């Protein structure tokens, strides 16, 4: 997994909290920085894809590893 600037652990949280927390964290970051989100909600896979498409932030990576979902989001 590529380098990232900030990490957000949303494990154990259910819809819509992972997205809301991610949005809040991104608000405090600057353009071009990368956020690594870890989540356990299986719905978050499609949700982060949709979040990126609608907000213009880039979903650089989305993968499952050991029952956890990892997302790399580059702030636009």
Nearer to other proteins, 3 or 67 (CB): 67
Min dist CB 58 to other proteins, Å, is: 15
Please say whether the beta carbons of 44 and 18 come within 8 A.
yes
- Of 5, 12, 14, 15, the active-site residue reads 15
Per CB under 8 A, the list member of 4, 6, 9, 16 interacting with other proteins is: 16
**51 vs 40, 55, 66, CA distance in Å?**
17, 6, 23
Q: Is 76 part of the annotated catalytic residue set? A: no
- Among residues 76, 5, 13, the alpha carbon closest in space to that of 39 is found at 13
Nearer to other proteins, 22 or 34 (CB): 22
């Amino acid at each position: 997994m590529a380098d990232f600037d900030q990490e957000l652990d949303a494990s154990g949280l259910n819809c819509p909290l992972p997205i809301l927390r991610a949005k809040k964290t991104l608000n405090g970051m600057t353009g071009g920085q990368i956020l690594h989100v870890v989540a356990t909600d299986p719905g978050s896979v499609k949700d982060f894809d949709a979040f990126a498409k609608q907000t213009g932030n880039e979903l650089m990576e989305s993968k499952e590893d050991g029952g956890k979902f990892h997302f790399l989001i580059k702030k636009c």
